[in-house]
Structure 1
Amino acid sequence: MFILSLTYVKPNDEADRHMEPHMAWVKEGYAKGWFLASGRKVPRTGGVILAIGDRTAIEAYVAADPFALHGVAEYEITELAVTTAVEGLEILKR
């Protein structure tokens, strides 16, 4: 599993200008079966995506995020080897 933590490096109004294409990118990540959960950080300094899949493919996909392409946000990708999960979240162990 991967934790994709994005941090805005430009003001929120700049993020807002790119939000629609970014959200289309997020929806495509779900359609590919890579994204499991996502949302904004509180306070609004970026966001977090929980993902599964091949690291190389995930890294390439992150580089294609409109936020990354336009320099709005920077990503930190953390790989987590899940060993224990509540019933129903076994998919995290992949």
Structure 2
Amino acid sequence: MFIISLTYKVPLEKVEEELNNHVQYLKEQYALGNFQASGRKVPRTGGVILSTVKDKKQLEEILAKDPFHKNDLADYTITEFIPSMTSEDLTCLLEV
């Protein structure tokens, strides 16, 4: 599993210009099963995505398609981790 932390590099006005395209991209990745959760940081300096893609290289290729990445609006930090304990609602995230 991966935690992707996005940090905006530009003013929010520029981010807002691509927000609808970014949301459409996220919906496509959810439909493909690549993303499990996402949302804005507080304060709004970027966002966070949880991904169950198995391979970091594959994840990097997926993230390269994000309009925020394509338009150089955000930096991406990828952290891999292996969940060893979850709440009952999130047991699907545990590796079998």
Query: Aligned equivalents of 1:64 and 1:15: distance in 2?
Result: 16
TM-score by length of 2: 0.92
Equivalent pairs counted in the alignment come to 94
Q: Which residue of 2 aligns with 1:80?
A: 81
Partner SS, residue 39 of structure 1: strand
Q: Which residue of 1 aligns with 2:94?
A: 93
> Sequence identity of aligned pairs in percent?
45
Q: Which residue of 2 aligns with 1:31?
A: 31
Query: Aligned equivalents of 2:19 and 2:89: distance in 1?
Result: 31
- Please report how far the alpha carbon of residue 17 of structure 1 lies from its aligned counterpart in structure 2 after TM superposition: 0.5
Query: Aligned equivalents of 1:23 and 1:42: distance in 2?
Result: 18
User: Within 5 Å, which residues of 2 pair with 1:1-94?
Assistant: 1-54=1-54, 55-94=56-95
Whichever residue aligns with residue 81 of structure 2, its letter is L
- Please report how far the alpha carbon of residue 28 of structure 1 lies from its aligned counterpart in structure 2 after TM superposition: 0.7
Whichever residue aligns with residue 24 of structure 1, its letter is Q
- In the alignment, structure 1 segments of 5+ residues that lack a partner are none
Query: Aligned equivalents of 1:86 and 1:42: distance in 2?
Result: 23
Q: Which runs of at least 4 in structure 1 moved beyond 3 Å after TM superposition?
A: none
- In the alignment, structure 2 segments of 5+ residues that lack a partner are none
- Please report how far the alpha carbon of residue 14 of structure 1 lies from its aligned counterpart in structure 2 after TM superposition: 0.3
- Please report how far the alpha carbon of residue 88 of structure 1 lies from its aligned counterpart in structure 2 after TM superposition: 2.4
- Please report how far the alpha carbon of residue 92 of structure 1 lies from its aligned counterpart in structure 2 after TM superposition: 1.5
